[in-house]
Amino acid sequence: MRKAVYPGTFDPITLGHLDVIAQAAPLFGELVVAVLHNPAKRPWFDLDERLEMIRDAVASFPHVRVDAFSGLLVDYCRASGIECVVRGVRNHVDLQNEMAMAHMNRALYGDLVTLFVPTSPEWSFVSSSLVKDVAMHGGDVTRFVTPRVARALAARAEGMANRHA
């Protein structure tokens, strides 16, 4: 059974991420959505919250599993028996950045290949950062995330606004 990993911070998961998952999942016996735990970053949602939101979002995909990792992706892949990394790309800028990471990963783990999956056009502008920015300013993000994520974003944005008031 071929396994692949779709790594990221997913802070939070968006419908663009789910589009990439829907395209890649049928290609593998198992697709692991691996959430990077990086204490240096300041995510809106802690690791457990992100894992739960992702598990909820991918519940309808039978061969998708959610996991967390820290450190180098290549170490996680080697330890997990994974030889394919799935990366979503929205535009040429994403592709350029992803190519550099793919080359570095391949240099560190020669058996690791990267599969680039272009997002569907309707998600080409959606990013977790933009969704958080819209939510922070009271905008409607329901078109870009799952209902659970939209509720979590609204609650987090309200909490942040109350702290700054």
**DSSP H helical ranges for 28-146:** 47-57, 73-80, 92-108, 128-136
90 among known catalytic residues: yes
Distances (CA, A) of 108 to 13, 32, 68, 71: 28, 20, 20, 13
In the chain, what is the greatest distance between 2 CA atoms, to the nearest angstrom? 53
Structural tokens at position 22: 């829907």
Which of 2, 17, 37, 143 is catalytic? The answer is 17
User: What's the angle, vertex CA 65, arms to CA 101 and CA 128, rounded to 5?
Assistant: 55
Tell me which of 42, 60, 78, 90 is the catalytic residue: 90
Distance CA 11, CA 45 (A): 6
Active site residue 128: yes
Q: Which of 41, 42, 137, 163 is catalytic?
A: 41
Active-site residue, 17 included:
yes
Catalytic residue among 50, 128, 163, 164: 128
DSSP string computed for 8-60: E--TT--HHHHHHHHHHGGGSSEEEEEEE--TTS--SS-HHHHHHHHHHHTTT
Give the residue numbers annotated as catalytic, written as ranges.
17, 41, 90, 128
